[in-house]
Amino acid sequence: MSKKKIGVIFGGRSVEHEVSVITGIQVIENIDKNKYDVVPIYVSKSGDWYTGEELSDIKNYKDINNLLSKAKKAFLSPVPSVKALIVLPEKKGFFKKDVEYIPIDVIFPAFHGAHGEDGTMQGLFELCDIPYVGSGVTGSAVGMDKIIMKDIFKSNNLPIVNYIWFTRDEYEKNKEDIIKKIEVQIGYPAFVKPANLGSSIGIGKAKDKDGLLNAIEVAAKYDRRIIVEKSVENCIEINCSVIGFDNDFISSVCEQPISLEEFLSFDDKYMRGSGSKGMKSTVRKIPAPIPEETSQSIKNLSIDAFRVLDCSGVARIDFLVEKDSMKVYVNEINTIPGSISFYLWEACGIKFSTLIDKLIEIAIKRHYEYSSNIYTFDTALLAKASMGAIKGGKTSK
């Protein structure tokens, strides 16, 4: 039986580019090579695609220019009949190699942030008609947008903190009115966040008006839409992962990540380790030291959040828990979590390689289910048009 070709794609035009590279390399290092042939696909910060074995070694990224000089440029064709990575020819001397086609059976995206985790790449994979790991276009897009995500959580009665949002343009034109609205409806302290960003980049905590003005100025550099949330004081962060698709879900053990600051910064999450450890390098308590009742509540809420956003594959849901009352708030969902949250599943007895197997299986199952939908419908409309049956440039629906 021939091995499936898995295209692991990572990097991308995102401020979380380096984090994505780490996650992608982790997947490549831990995938079962007896079952799969891996095709590494690196997307540079400028958006160019590359492939080649040298992209599988994290050490090579220390000199990115040298690495890319050895790799080959490539792209994925959106034509459904192709289902292949197209490698562009290299011209050397008077000779030019032919275009190379590498068939891809399943795509494993390891993107974080914009242009990869937000539904854009997922849309391309849909056009290619290739199974891919993770949530679809809708779940990915909504999971990235904190405003729409919280609106959906709220409409489904999931517990969330109070929040308001506004656009950069609205703020520039009505700064004082918006500041006053925040002070009345949210108060201090408050968290200010870009609507579409992860890894704690662009997030600030405001304890007074000056802090609020500064935090909004920073957040507005990363996104045109800004969300301001009530801060839950004297709380801990608890995370839980979910795997599944189509009402078949399981939740992981809960964890408590330990931060040196008041909230997990980018450095806390990714820069306190080395090599390709990624999110596992963060100091954390697994299982989280919380009451069993609270832990079970978080596990149930994790599945609820996963389901209402129509997610699939794996995700990590982050919570805020008041230390005294143990009141739980859903903070956000990460549809492509750092390190694929493998450390939470290892604590459940599931190896990283087994987790990857499961995600590939779900990708194939999800693709089969979606392929069962009717996407075309033959009518006599064009035949009628060719006979002059459509007049005045109008058609009926």
User: How many CA atoms lie less than 13 Å away from 17 in the CB half-sphere?
Assistant: 12
pLDDT at 165: 98
User: How many CA atoms lie less than 13 Å away from 106 in the CB half-sphere?
Assistant: 27
**Residues that are catalytic:** 16, 199, 341
Fold of 162-230: Dna Ligase; domain 1 (3.30.1490)
38 is in an annotated binding site: no
Which run of H or E residues covers position 75?
strand 72-76
Count of other CB atoms within 10 angstroms of residue 317: 30
pLDDT at 270: 44
**What tens-digit pLDDT sequence spans the chain (397 residues)?**
689 999 999 999 998 999 999 999 999 999 999 999 999 999 999 999 999 999 999 999 999 999 999 999 999 999 999 999 999 987 665 566 788 999 999 999 999 999 999 999 999 999 999 999 999 999 999 999 999 999 999 999 999 999 999 999 999 999 999 999 999 999 999 999 999 876 567 899 999 999 999 999 999 999 999 999 999 999 999 999 999 999 899 999 999 998 755 555 545 544 444 444 555 556 899 999 999 999 999 999 999 999 999 999 999 999 999 999 999 999 999 999 999 999 999 999 999 999 999 999 999 999 999 888 777 677 777 677 766 655 555 555 5
229 is in an annotated binding site: yes
The two structure tokens encoding residue 172: 């520039």
pLDDT at 196: 86
Specify the DSSP class assigned to residue 132. B
Instruction: Identify any residues that bridge with 43 across adjacent strands, giving them in sequence order.
Output: 11, 49
Residue type, 371: S
pLDDT at 373: 77
Residues 143 and 44: beta-carbon distance below 8 Å: no
pLDDT at 343: 97
2 is in an annotated binding site: no
346 is in an annotated binding site: no
172 is in an annotated binding site: no
pLDDT at 273: 47
pLDDT at 93: 55
118: left (phi > 0), else alpha (psi -120 to 50), else beta?
A: alpha
235 is in an annotated binding site: yes
List b or e across 332-358, with b for residues whose CB sees 16 or more CB atoms inside 10 angstroms: bbbbbbbbbbbbbbbbeebebbebbbb
pLDDT at 274: 44
pLDDT at 169: 97
Say which residue the tokens 């230390």 belong to. Answer: 323
pLDDT at 91: 67
156 is in an annotated binding site: no
pLDDT at 271: 45
Q: Please tell us whether the domain made up of 4-132 is placed in CATH 1.10.3720.10.
A: no
Q: Is 150-158+233-369 in the same CATH topology as 4-132?
A: no
230 is in an annotated binding site: yes
Pairing of strands 256-257, 248-251: unpaired
318 is in an annotated binding site: yes
53 is in an annotated binding site: no
200 is in an annotated binding site: yes
Domain boundaries, the chain: 4-132, 150-158+233-369, 162-230
Superfamily of domain 150-158+233-369: ATP-grasp fold, B domain (3.30.470.20)
